[in-house]
Structure 1
């Protein structure tokens, strides 16, 4: 890969993007009323995951999450907050048991909590590539009807032109994010 310079900060805010402090930002959803340009990078189905030991416990109950008291791990971010509600409506035609949801600050925090056996998380494959390949987490089977999809977008301000470095970086990154690249 050629040498490039891309200014990115995580976590970031729209203010940093709008004042030109950074070149672009990865967000899941942003208000359409903002003068911002976006490019879709990946779109993947969200799936329930747990540690191997918790997955084994769950399988004994035939994956009936509502009857059990397992902690549900949620991400406290606008585009993630409704995932458990949508999951329970789709899978069980009922409201999510809100008292059982522990809200964490980021997808990576929820992923780590699932790895540590603290509960069940909803995640998409590309963010948990390493944990899947090393069997630190297991995908809970039997939830094929769930059609929860997470789309990751790259946002830049419309008034700032896209740089050649940014295009090179995105072209390099895109194939590495897809589920097909997960081994």
Structure 2
């Protein structure tokens, strides 16, 4: 461990001298530790020329060793934490965490000051080993059977949205007319523009320009910044719609994204705290679902935008109440 710590310190600055200062030991002691590590591994980790440089093996080890030390420090911190301070580890999709969970989390923290919530992000279905490192995992799912023992708590309509200024002086009279704008979708979304146009009764128009961005948050920010019309789940943009930062140029009934589900790890150290959190999460999800029905159902863009909507309740391809 001392040898690994010495190598990690050297890698931070590629300097034995600075590493020695950071560790509070001599230059020679650091050099000997790194040399011992190289002998133990049977590879060279550093090129010792006029300037230190990583070898290929050294660079690989350095990239892995930092996160490993952070994980060890976190584990030791949790073990040594006083009993009256509990840690609840939540893993959720990044955009959901930023746009939905964090803005609401202060309510839970005020009600449960003895519970420290630690957030991490992920989008893939959890592996078996993640049950050891997380208490609660949140994911968007097409079917519940892909994530056993999970519970749905938050639903989303899928909406095309854009900054209001994009529609200045433009009349959108049919779903297919959205193809005149730059269209944006998230690569991580389960529903794309091709699905949306199919639901509207059209193939994707030949003139459509579709930009697929890597993350949902990128698509959201692009819409807010007026770069195009993005397909986004309503749960994550309700505040932006209500505040007028985003508007809906056309709405299709029955167009939904995947629901958000939560599952409590069977290996959670504190089932009571986890139960408190998911009870709160379910209540917040129900409130958000109700708000979504209110905001989207009552949403009427400003007449000054020149947006034209057919009567409420029209068939597929036309807007209607949700």
Q: Distance in 2 between matches of 1:28 and 1:34?
A: 10
Label 1:37 to 1:98 Cα distance change in 2 as closer, same or farther (>3 A). farther
Contact map agreement 2:155 2:289 (CA 8 A) in 1: no
Greater percentage in helix: 2
**TM superposition score normalised by structure 1:** 0.77
Corresponding residue for residue 132 of structure 1: 241
Corresponding residue for residue 9 of structure 1: 120
Corresponding residue for residue 181 of structure 2: 70
Quick check: 1:148 aligned with 2:148? no
Count of residues in correspondence between the two structures:
178
Question: Offset at 1:113?
Answer: 0.8
Query: Which SS does the other structure have where 1:89 is aligned?
Result: helix
Q: Specify every segment of 5 or more residues in structure 2 that has no aligned partner in the other structure, as ranges.
A: 1-110, 296-322
Contact map agreement 1:17 1:23 (CA 8 A) in 2: no
Between 1 and 2, higher relative CO (CA 8 Å, sep ≥ 6) is seen in: 1
Corresponding residue for residue 103 of structure 1: 212
Q: Which has the larger radius of gyration?
A: 2
Corresponding residue for residue 93 of structure 1: 202
Q: Distance in 1 between matches of 2:147 and 2:267?
A: 11
Quick check: 1:179 aligned with 2:279? no
Question: Offset at 1:67?
Answer: 6.7
Q: Distance in 2 between matches of 1:55 and 1:33?
A: 41
Label 1:138 to 1:156 Cα distance change in 2 as closer, same or farther (>3 A). same
**Equivalent of 1:56 in 168, 185, 209:** 168
Label 1:29 to 1:154 Cα distance change in 2 as closer, same or farther (>3 A). same
**Equivalent of 1:40 in 149, 152, 158:** 152
Greater percentage in strand: 1
Quick check: 1:27 aligned with 2:147? no
Question: Offset at 1:123?
Answer: 2.0
Question: Offset at 1:149?
Answer: 3.8
Q: Specify every segment of 5 or more residues in structure 1 that has no aligned partner in the other structure, as ranges.
A: none
Query: Which SS does the other structure have where 1:48 is aligned?
Result: strand
Label 1:167 to 1:84 Cα distance change in 2 as closer, same or farther (>3 A). farther
Q: Distance in 2 between matches of 1:34 and 1:139?
A: 32
Query: Which SS does the other structure have where 1:37 is aligned?
Result: coil
Report which stretch shifted further, 85-94 or 63-72.
Answer: 63-72
**TM superposition score normalised by structure 2:** 0.47
Report which stretch shifted further, 25-34 or 145-154.
Answer: 25-34
Q: Distance in 1 between matches of 2:167 and 2:282?
A: 31
